[in-house]
């Protein structure tokens, strides 16, 4: 084999091996920007178990975060049933005194009945709620970690700042404490959009558009 051809083949082999060994670059995600009242992100979070009477029950929080202001609504329930999923929305809209235009969900069974690629079939009962309150449900694309980062950060913040070492007597007591914490602590943290403002101040701006 001519030397020139041999060097060409060897060069291709080396380049292929380097490409094989080189780590695949991680996908870079930019912070998502939205307009006031454009979107809220919704998720369930599990918080262990509580004893109610003689029964040990799972404790979960329905969490809705306004993507623009990062204002949080949270309410604890004793299961993640469809009924409580819908109740969580109703309580949230009453608390916000308005409804965002779009609600973004992960592929929760309560929200997404079936998915094939980008084709999504939403739970019929969620669609009925959306029709009543005039919002549009949307589903995150699989493996897109930045799409619902606002509510995921809310979950971590609630665990660390509110729930850790929290004592309460009843579920109603826990929910009362949660809203006091939201108003007095979570609302007074710095707003990611401008650290000269608080989340509560950003929410006042957003609330006018709900």
CA distance 120 to 38: 21
Report which of 103, 125, 104, 122 is spatially closest to residue 112, judged by C-alpha positions.
Answer: 122
Task: Give the H or E element holding residue 117.
Answer: none
CA distance 89 to 72: 13
Q: In angstroms, what CA-CA distances link 184 with 33, 163, 177, 188, 200?
A: 26, 15, 10, 6, 9
Superfamily of domain 35-153: Ribonuclease H-like superfamily/Ribonuclease H (3.30.420.10)
Helices 82-96 and 124-133 cross at an angle (nearest 10°) of: 20
CA distance 41 to 111: 12
CA distance 6 to 20: 21
Report the chain's mean pLDDT, rounded to a whole number. 88
What pLDDT does residue 142 have? 72
9 pLDDT above the threshold of 80: no
Q: In angstroms, what CA-CA distances link 106 with 12, 109, 141, 148, 201?
A: 43, 9, 8, 7, 28
Domain ranges for the chain, please list them.
35-153
CA distance 116 to 119: 5
Q: What is the pTM of this model?
A: 0.83
Buried b (16+ CB within 10 A) or exposed e, 126-143: beebbeeeebebbbbeee
Least confident among 78-87, 112-121, 159-168, 200-209: 112-121
Question: For residue range 167-180, what is the model confidence (pLDDT) as tens digits?
Answer: 999 999 999 999 99
Question: For residue range 13-67, what is the model confidence (pLDDT) as tens digits?
Answer: 545 554 455 555 444 444 567 899 999 999 999 999 998 878 899 999 999 999 9
């Amino acid at each position: 084999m001519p030397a020139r051809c041999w060097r060409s083949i060897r060069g291709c082999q080396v380049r292929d091996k380097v490409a094989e060994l080189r780590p695949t670059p991680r996908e870079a995600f930019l912070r998502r920007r939205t307009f006031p009242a454009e979107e809220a992100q919704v998720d369930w979070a599990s918080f262990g178990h509580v004893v109610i009477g003689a029964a040990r029950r799972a404790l979960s929080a329905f969490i809705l975060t306004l993507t623009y202001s990062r204002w949080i609504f949270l309410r604890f329930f004793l299961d993640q049933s469809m009924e409580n999923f819908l109740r969580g929305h109703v309580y949230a809209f009453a608390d916000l005194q308005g409804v965002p235009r779009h609600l973004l969900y992960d592929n929760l069974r309560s929200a997404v009945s079936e998915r094939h690629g980008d084709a999504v079939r939403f739970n019929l009962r969620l669609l009925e709620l959306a029709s009543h309150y005039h919002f549009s449900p949307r589903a995150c694309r699989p493996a897109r970690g930045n799409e619902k980062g606002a509510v995921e950060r809310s979950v971590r913040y609630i665990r660390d700042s509110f729930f850790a070492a929290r004592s309460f007597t009843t579920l109603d007591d826990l929910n009362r404490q949660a809203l006091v914490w939201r108003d007095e602590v979570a609302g007074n943290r710095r707003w990611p959009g401008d650290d000269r403002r608080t989340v509560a101040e950003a929410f006042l701006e957003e609330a006018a558009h709900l």
